[in-house]
Structure 1
Amino acid sequence: MATASIQDTTLLPDTERLLRWPGLAIPDESPTRAWLAERLFRRTVRRLPVRAAFPGGEVVGAGGPGSPVMRIVRPVTFFHRLGIDAKIGFGEAYMAGDWTSRDLADLLTPFAERITTLVPRALQPLRRWVDAARPTDERNTVEGARTNIHRHYDLSNEMFESFLDDSMTYSSAWFPAGCDDLHAAQLRKIDGILDLAGVDADTHVLEIGSGWGALAIRAARRGARVTTLTISPEQRTLAEQRIKEAGVADRVQVLLRDYRDAQGQYDAVVSVEMIEAVGDEYWPTYFATIARLLRPGGRVGLQAITMPHDRMLATRRSHTWIHKYVFPGGQLLSVPAVLDNAAAAGLDVTDRHSLGSHYARTLRHWHDRFAANADRVAAAGFDPTFRRMWEFYLAYCEAGFRAGYLDVWQFAMTRPA
């Protein structure tokens, strides 16, 4: 254990601003849970290559002088938040300024690498009484999905422009060997999905989840006809503008429509990181809809973020910080869940490959761009608490991919003729 004092000049959000974020300024309290949370936290960091620096100079952790530092600014509120609900409180404590770090992803990665053992086995059965259940109003019904998507994708096109590349692609890139150009890597990823789906000049493509139009534009430039679906009005407006500016509006139709309401027959169906917003209740419907819309012999290109199957089963009903602040209604699949649901819908998986390490690099690019454009984000109306929230989200995800806890796959599927 080190004893040197560690300084950090990060400014804390003020109380008046936090009052606009329910629960952040004045957290719930539970002395017993806070006591237990502190002991579990200290036990954990003593085994990690990090340092937790407390007021007064105490430093706990197995990390050496160059290891990531977590500066605990307000220990009392920090441990109360952890004790009440660690899956939400840890991120909220960062948003509120109870703790801070100069390199979040480096700090969070060792935690992500040991996520299954952070809570001692003897205490794991207590989770059923501690973990918050997912709100029933976040179910991904047709109306619920619109509300959930609105809370994320309709935040502000300007905010998303602040950290995405020129293609406005909000999913994992695929970096060519020896190249760290994010834009080139995003185009390579899109081409990979289109290739898996066999998209060419004779193809009528259905895209489930328009994003801001990058994939539709790329497919149209191959000569394909594209019907693309979104339930985000903000995305649809900018996607149509970008499609028109790209000169392919005659080949692309953007519909404000839920995937369950789609009609027609298509040669190919593509969907990039939209399935994470479907929810396990509707996974069978999602795959059955793809099979219904795909002509016999047609092909599918699907990109999906995954987690280990056992962890998916253990956490599928948990309400986490990501759900509360970033992706309400979101749920990751496992590879077996993709394979099983595809098979049940009559789709054959013919190819797949992992891009997990590429997502870690993508997220680092996004984090650096977001930080560099902090003034632009502020000008778009987002306060420092939101910016800390978004920084934590990007770093939290990067750590998950760096640790291998999260992965992302491209799948090729066919509907037998």
Structure 2
Amino acid sequence: MKRQTILIYKGRFIVDGIKIKQKDSIHIKKNKLNLYQKIIDYVFRPMRLGRLTMRLPDGRFLIYGNGKDGVEAEITIRNNNFFKKCVFFGDVGFGESYVDGDWDTEDITKVIEWMIINVEHHPTLMSDKKKRAPVNWLKVINNLISLVRKNSLNGSRKNIYEHYDLGNDFFKLFLDPSMTYSSAYFKNEQMSLEQAQYQKYEQFCQKIRLRHTDHLLEIGSGWGGFAMYAVKNFGCQVTTITVSKEQHDFVEKRIKEEGLVDKINVKLTDYRKIKGVYDKIVSIEMLEAVGHEYYEEYFRQCHNLLKKDGIMALQVILSPDNRYESFRKNVDWIEKHIFPGSLLPSTAVLLKNVNKSGDLGLFDFEDITPHYVKTLDLWCRNFNQQLASIKAMRFDESFIRQWNYYWCYCKAAFQTRNISVAQMVFSRPNNLTLS
């Protein structure tokens, strides 16, 4: 339908004196908008799938999309700084303006989903650079910040510190009792989050054919959940490494309390510094913190550490192959505010670097993306049930808004398959233990 210029009075949509239905695609007269509003209006108008209803601070509305083939979302603009931040910093500014309280919505996930389903009309996501709209003017600032956050030996520890060392007590508020901070695996709808995390651990142990005689290397300890599960259920030896001092001390205390000191060795070190050979290697959602420049080095190190008939299993969040370069060259809100130095690899990029690093080959691949959507739902629910405790830790309203945006941002990305998560198993040719 051809767009019409309208006047909105007391919540009613009027065109030439005739009331129209909200399902029609409409927008306000351009001369009623300021410069930044006009730019954002120009950016949003081509986004035709679904519908976004935007309520302005003066009570007027901007409505985008055809109401078909997608999500219906609503946002209320509290402060016109929203438009400036979006113009200057694009998607990053959009998220920052939410954290600052410039806009609100009853469903953040739906708002972000609406943006994602309109990806080919989105000014910073579309694949055709020539069609990109005039926003994100100051993206160079965010990109420069990213350049100094490389995952070198020193940089990696600093980047991890910024997220994971918020305090173990904080993470306890929303994680399950196993303290597992990665996607669970729900074998059935009745599973609790804790049960689903143990199910994920069991799958990993089965996929790597874990035996009591094995020495297993875990790259990225987390809070020790997988290492303790492997030892308790399979009787193997585990060396687990982390660059987080908070996590290291927590795991060290935990294994002492569980009487597992003779079976688990937790080291505060980088994967690049590990020596020896291991029967099995497991790394659960750690590759996202490696970085483009270090993939080959990471897999070469794994190749050297793994015995000839060894097996390696990864759980990794993946970007689409055709958008990896865009992910790599542009800073998004998550990288700037939640996981400094992070980058989601693509399947093709991972396999390319595995092949360059030695003779390991992909043996098994399982996409588990729907399980992350449910995991995020439960983390978000737990988080918001603990707001009093979070505030008692002196985290302010902006911090709470930031984390709620983080949960919903990730959920929307997984739900729309803008990103995915998979379990991947690698080994060498002629490994008869895989038969």
Give the TM bin, normalised by the shorter chain.
0.7 to 0.9
> CA offsets per residue over residues 339-395 of structure 1, 9 Å max, x none?
211222221110010011111111111111111111111112211111111110111
Query: Equivalent residue for 1:100?
Result: 104
> Do the aligned residues in 2 keep the contact of 1:110 with 1:403 (CA within 8 Å)?
no
Change (3 A) 1:98 1:128: closer
Confirm or deny that 1:326 pairs with 2:338: yes
Query: What's the CA shift for 1:43?
Result: 4.6
1:142 and 1:280 map into 2 onto residues whose CA distance is 14
Q: 2:43, 2:133 within 8 Å by CA — same for their partners in 1?
A: no
Partners of 1:379 and 1:205 in 2: how far apart? 40
The aligned runs of 1:223-372 (5 Å cut-off) are 223-346=235-358, 347-372=360-385
- SS of residue matched to 2:252: helix
Q: Percent identity between the aligned chains?
A: 34
SS of structure 2 residue aligned to 1:269: strand
Residue in structure 2 matched with residue 70 of structure 1 by the alignment: 75
Decide whether aligned partners of structure 1 residues 33 and 72 sit closer, same or farther in structure 2, where only a CA change above 3 A counts.
closer
Give the unaligned 5+ runs of structure 1: 7-30
Q: Which structure has the higher relative contact order (CA within 8 Å, separation 6+)?
A: 1
- Tell me if structure 1 keeps the 8 A contact 2:366–2:424: yes
1:325 & 1:301 partners in 2: Cα distance?
29
Distance 1:134 1:269, change over 3 A: farther
Shift of 1:67: 4.1
Q: Residues of 2 paired with 1:257 and 1:91: CA distance?
A: 34
Q: Which residue of 2 aligns with 1:205?
A: 216
Aligned to 1:391: 404
The match for 1:185 among 177, 196, 216 is 196
CA contact 1:5–1:56 (8 Å) conserved in 2: no
CA deviation string 1:174-196 (max 9, x = no partner):
10123241111111111112222
**In structure 2, what is the Cα distance between the partners aligned to 1:128 and 1:389?**
20
Q: Which deviates more from structure 2 when the two are superposed, residues 124-133 or residues 251-260?
A: 124-133
Give the 3 Å change call, closer, same or farther, for CA 172–134 of structure 1 in structure 2.
farther
Does the CA-based 8 Å contact 1:201-1:223 persist in structure 2? yes
1:42-191 → structure 2 map (5 Å cutoff)? 42-44=45-47, 47-59=49-61, 60-62=63-65, 67-74=72-79, 76-119=80-123, 121=128, 122-124=130-132, 131-132=139-140, 133-135=143-145, 136-191=147-202
Q: Is the 8 A contact 1:134 1:317 kept in 2?
A: no
Which protein has the bigger strand share? 2
More displaced stretch, 399-408 vs 190-199? 190-199
Q: Is the 8 A contact 1:158 1:380 kept in 2?
A: no
Q: Return the alpha-carbon distance in structure 1 between the equivalents of residues 133 and 56 of structure 2.
A: 30
CA displacement at 1:102 relative to structure 2 = 1.8
Which of these residues, 406, 409, 412, is aligned with residue 419 of structure 2?
A: 406
Q: Which moved more, 1:288-297 or 1:116-125?
A: 116-125
Instruction: Find 1:196's aligned residue among 207, 215, 229.
Output: 207
Q: Deviations over 1:315-344 (max 9, x none)?
A: 312122112111110000111112211222
Contact 2:77–2:104, Cα closer than 8 Å, also in 1:
yes
Tell me which amino acid in the other structure corresponds to 2:97: A
Unaligned runs of 5+ in 2: 1-5, 13-33
Asked if 1:41 is matched to 2:44, the reply is yes
RMSD: 2.3
Quote the offset at 1:396 in angstroms: 0.1
Shift of 1:156: 1.3
Q: Distance in 2 between matches of 1:41 and 1:125?
A: 10
Structure 1 residues 365 and 128 mapped into 2: Cα distance closer, same or farther (>3 Å)?
A: closer
By how many angstroms is 1:128 displaced? 9.6
Counterpart amino acid of residue 384 in structure 2: A
Contact 1:95 1:388 in 2 (8 A): yes
> Cα distance 1:146–1:301, how it changes in 2: closer, same or farther (>3 A)?
same
> d(CA) in 1 for partners of 2:219 and 2:135?
36
Aligned residues: 390
The CA deviation at 1:130 is 5.3
Match of 1:90, SS state, is helix
Larger Rg: 2
Alignment deviations for residues 286-325 of structure 1 (CA, whole Å, 9 cap, x no partner): 1111001001110001010001111111231212211211
Amino acid at match of 1:224: C
